[in-house]
Structure 1
Amino acid sequence: MNGKMVNEWVNSVKNEVIQWRRHLHQYPELSYHEEKTSQFVYDLLCSFENLEVSRPTKTSVMACLIGSQPGQVLAFRADMDALPITEETNLDFASRIPGVMHACGHDGHTAMLLGAAKILSRLKDSVQGEIRFIFQHAEEVHPGGAKEMIQAGVLEGVDQMIGVHLMPHIPVGKMGFTYGPATAYSDRFDIKIQGRGGHGSEPHKTIDPIAVGSQIITNLQHIVSRNTDPMDQLVISVTKFHGGDAYNVIPDTVSLGGTVRIFNPELHGQVRGWMERVIKGVAEAHSAQYEFDYRYGYKSVLNDKRITKIMEDTVSESFGKDAVQLVPPMMGGEDFSAYSHEVPASFILVGAGNVKKGTNYPLHHPRLILDEDALENGVRLFVAAAGKFVLQETNHEGAKEWAIMRSS
């Protein structure tokens, strides 16, 4: 694909993409409640030409660009939901919704894919096959919107799929690539310890659930250090410990909770059993009772080697070899994993960090600011990917038609 032509296309929608992103940033909506967001996306897509727009679920949108010639089906995905965080950026377009913020870049993902959809919708005559633009709800909350989208049939006939994520720890202009597992399996657990309370001055007359819970926390870490190969990355983090209300009273019960992160699917199937063995052993040793609730979360995102290599080459050609960064897998969870276990897929990290502009706060931080220069890079990435998979190089009629429409 002609790089100069792509740059011209992207530049022509750059300002709109920024404005779309800022609008979405001001009106964030939580997972499963993206009513206004999805309507905004739906209305915009309907204003573009040649797209078949639908609502796979109540708060999601899909647009299909069916080419003039048969070929493969390429799917793009952007997530749309926000987080229950109070924004502290002081941006002119900061969130107007109390306690809700786009602190994970989903406003940018949505705007970038809208920009790509506007460009590519004018290239119908150059498309061999189909491009699906999937705007997904509820990425942040398990079980995640991806499963519902798949059940609604958005992957039927799809040959390959691309997802992106804006990342503040990667500089603007760089793209992060991981081969194979790119994110971790992300599970959650809750533990309740039932003891026997009493006066703090007479601990011998109690079954102290705080002491039992503390030993459980310590022993759970032995799973990581002694049950698994050090080369197998495993994290068991207890992030909640609640019990007791008075200084002189040992409570009857305490509750604990936390998360498990792991890449190895075989070990993933064993962790729950290992944890319950530890919890049961410690509880029984102190005559306490326990309840253990382990909930499986998102699977690991699997980056298909062939698709990822094509995308790496695409970035090298479109942005230069220096733009490619090979990055290690992330311990974070991501429900794009549901798609990647169904069709060959690649999940690419788009650099959005710029220390000079103060865009170096991490994702999910109330002061997260993304460098908006990254938005045009995301649009260009989507368009370039379409050029690799479904745009016919020798057919420029669609491109000519697009240029004529843009200038009119």
Structure 2
Amino acid sequence: MTTLQAQLFTLLNEKEAEMIKIRRHLHRHPELSFQETETAKYIAAFYEGKDCVVKTQIGGQNGVLIDIKGGLPGPSLAIRADFDALPIKEATGLPFASENEGVMHACGHDGHTAYMMVLADCLIELKAQLPGSVRIIHQPAEEVPPGGSIGMIKAGCLEGIDNVFGIHVMSNMEVGTVGIHPGSVHTGRATFKVKLQGKGGHGSTPQDANDTIVAGAQFINAIQTIVSRRVSPFDSATVTIGSFDGKGSANVIKDSVTLEGDVRVMKEETRAVVEQQFKQILAGISDAFGLTYELDYANDYPVCVNDAEMTQLVTEAIRADNIPEVTRVFDCGPQTPSEDFAHYAEERPSCFFFVGAHTPGKPVYPHHHPHFDIDENCLLIAGKVMSSAVVHYLTEGGTHHE
């Protein structure tokens, strides 16, 4: 372990309580995607008077960029944390539970921001020893398509940057564990909304109507064959109907129904197959039942792909530093949710990895659940593993381009 790394670990230990305090403040005051104005102000205020360059309202959004220029020449790395919350009514009963009714940090973004702010503070304090520079990307709106990363990228947050790292805390991984996976690490996603338009009628005379509920049921069954019969068993995809708006009277045949759902894929090639088959089945069902339809089919987050070289660097860095709080570093495999960090990974060779946040012996509540919570020990771990990745990258593994 280098002297710089040891100093970072010491500072992070000293500031762990500050991480927890920040996390609890953010948890108490969550804001929805693209509405995080007070959160952005809070983040920017933290850096006032510190030896760094602060830029706010990036891309006309609530993004905040912090540039930390090291005292020695070297590569340029960006590290990213998101800070938006979700439209969920919190049910944790925590003493610092959400004070914004119906809005909750149910995905851990409060933890991401807290560890990142304190890590950035430590890097600023030791910047004279840094070979290269670090850009802190405090990103809004990860949860809502098209995602805040696109606006940040269009506004130039990756200009002069060689590579990007990011962390997500995970409620299904025990605290102390660190999961990393090369290649496709998060699914790509599409969302859809279908309105089937038929002819309403009375339940006693179905021959005079075109029943959209029956057609909708056929459509739901038919699109499940996309995965079972059009996607290789060695590949991965899901097609989900999350909403079927067919409510009406018991003796009335509805003239229209609306279905909404999403698609997840682990390869971009699979995305095209699913979309083509989806549209073909929809057209066929509509024709067979004598219906018309409206379709809104939107591809949003791409597959998030970890660069092999960057992933190896991060893995070896964490293992080499023998971080006492880390009990296991393992290949966690691909994760089924989607993540807008994927847009950074499309632009620069990147690594997105995971820090366990579940307390052994407690119930496991998934992300986006009203009871979701994190073991706050994960904050210090996230700070330390990211600091290891940063220092090893800057001192030996960077891909600096003049």
Residue matched to 2:365: 361
Residue matched to 1:296: 299
Indicate conservation of the 8 Å contact 2:75/2:132, yes or no.
Answer: yes
2-structure distance, mates of 1:268, 1:325:
28
Indicate conservation of the 8 Å contact 1:127/1:392, yes or no.
Answer: no
Residue matched to 1:53: 54
Query: In the TM superposition, what whole-angstrom CA distance separates every residue of 1:69-94 from its partner, at most 9, and x where no partner exists?
Result: 22100100000000000111111111
Q: TM-score, normalised by structure 2?
A: 0.94
The correspondence for 2:348, drawn from 343, 348, 352, is 343
Indicate conservation of the 8 Å contact 1:185/1:333, yes or no.
Answer: yes
Residue matched to 2:391: 387
Residue matched to 1:212: 215
- Equivalent residues in 2 for 1:36-47 (5 A)? 36-47=38-49
Give, as a single letter, the amino acid of the residue that structure 2 aligns with 1:373.
N
2-structure distance, mates of 1:179, 1:171:
21
Indicate conservation of the 8 Å contact 2:192/2:296, yes or no.
Answer: yes
SS of match in other structure, 2:337: coil
The Cα of 1:322 is off from its aligned counterpart by 4.9
Distance 1:95 1:261, change over 3 A: same
The correspondence for 1:26, drawn from 7, 28, 34, is 28
SS of match in other structure, 2:68: strand
The correspondence for 2:100, drawn from 94, 97, 100, is 97
SS of match in other structure, 1:374: helix
Give, as a single letter, the amino acid of the residue that structure 2 aligns with 1:325.
F
Residue matched to 1:284: 287
Distance 1:119 1:204, change over 3 A: same
Indicate conservation of the 8 Å contact 2:74/2:131, yes or no.
Answer: yes
Residue matched to 1:16: 18
Q: Which runs of 5+ in 2 are unaligned?
A: 398-402
1-structure distance, mates of 2:275, 2:15:
49
Residue matched to 2:172: 169
Q: Which moved more, 1:243-252 or 1:79-88?
A: 243-252
Indicate conservation of the 8 Å contact 1:168/1:359, yes or no.
Answer: no
The Cα of 1:283 is off from its aligned counterpart by 1.2
- Equivalent residues in 2 for 1:134-213 (5 A)? 134-213=137-216
2-structure distance, mates of 1:45, 1:390:
22
Q: Which moved more, 1:111-120 or 1:54-63?
A: 54-63
Residue matched to 1:373: 377
Distance 1:224 1:164, change over 3 A: same
Give, as a single letter, the amino acid of the residue that structure 1 aligns with 2:18.
E
The correspondence for 2:318, drawn from 294, 310, 315, is 315
2-structure distance, mates of 1:4, 1:121:
15
1:272 equivalent to 2:275? Answer yes
SS of match in other structure, 1:30: coil
SS of match in other structure, 1:103: coil
Q: Which runs of 5+ in 1 are unaligned?
A: 394-408
1-structure distance, mates of 2:148, 2:12:
29
Compute the RMSD of aligned alpha carbons: 1.5
Give, as a single letter, the amino acid of the residue that structure 2 aligns with 1:346.
C
Indicate conservation of the 8 Å contact 1:359/1:369, yes or no.
Answer: no
Indicate conservation of the 8 Å contact 1:316/1:322, yes or no.
Answer: no
SS of match in other structure, 1:165: strand
The Cα of 1:7 is off from its aligned counterpart by 2.9
The Cα of 1:392 is off from its aligned counterpart by 8.4
Q: Which moved more, 1:50-59 or 1:33-42?
A: 50-59
Residue matched to 1:327: 332
Indicate conservation of the 8 Å contact 2:88/2:102, yes or no.
Answer: yes
Indicate conservation of the 8 Å contact 2:313/2:393, yes or no.
Answer: no
1:114 equivalent to 2:120? Answer no
Indicate conservation of the 8 Å contact 2:230/2:273, yes or no.
Answer: no
2-structure distance, mates of 1:32, 1:359:
32
The Cα of 1:263 is off from its aligned counterpart by 1.2
1:81 equivalent to 2:47? Answer no
Query: In the TM superposition, what whole-angstrom CA distance separates every residue of 1:151-184 from its partner, at most 9, and x where no partner exists?
Result: 0101011111110000011111110111101011
Question: Percent of pairs identical after alignment?
Answer: 37
Residue matched to 1:396: none
SS of match in other structure, 1:237: strand
Residue matched to 1:400: none
The Cα of 1:217 is off from its aligned counterpart by 0.7
Indicate conservation of the 8 Å contact 2:8/2:122, yes or no.
Answer: no
2-structure distance, mates of 1:291, 1:140:
26
SS of match in other structure, 1:132: strand
The Cα of 1:359 is off from its aligned counterpart by 6.0
Query: In the TM superposition, what whole-angstrom CA distance separates every residue of 1:48-102 from its partner, at most 9, and x where no partner exists?
Result: 3x21111124311110011122210010000000000011111111101100000
Give, as a single letter, the amino acid of the residue that structure 1 aligns with 2:30.
P
The Cα of 1:244 is off from its aligned counterpart by 3.8
1-structure distance, mates of 2:191, 2:6:
48
2-structure distance, mates of 1:338, 1:209:
38
2-structure distance, mates of 1:376, 1:194:
55
1-structure distance, mates of 2:364, 2:8:
29
SS of match in other structure, 1:366: coil
SS of match in other structure, 2:300: strand
1-structure distance, mates of 2:390, 2:231:
42
Indicate conservation of the 8 Å contact 1:128/1:392, yes or no.
Answer: no
Q: Which moved more, 1:258-267 or 1:130-139?
A: 258-267
Distance 1:216 1:71, change over 3 A: same
Query: In the TM superposition, what whole-angstrom CA distance separates every residue of 1:282-310 from its partner, at most 9, and x where no partner exists?
Result: 11112111222210110011100100111
Indicate conservation of the 8 Å contact 1:164/1:348, yes or no.
Answer: yes
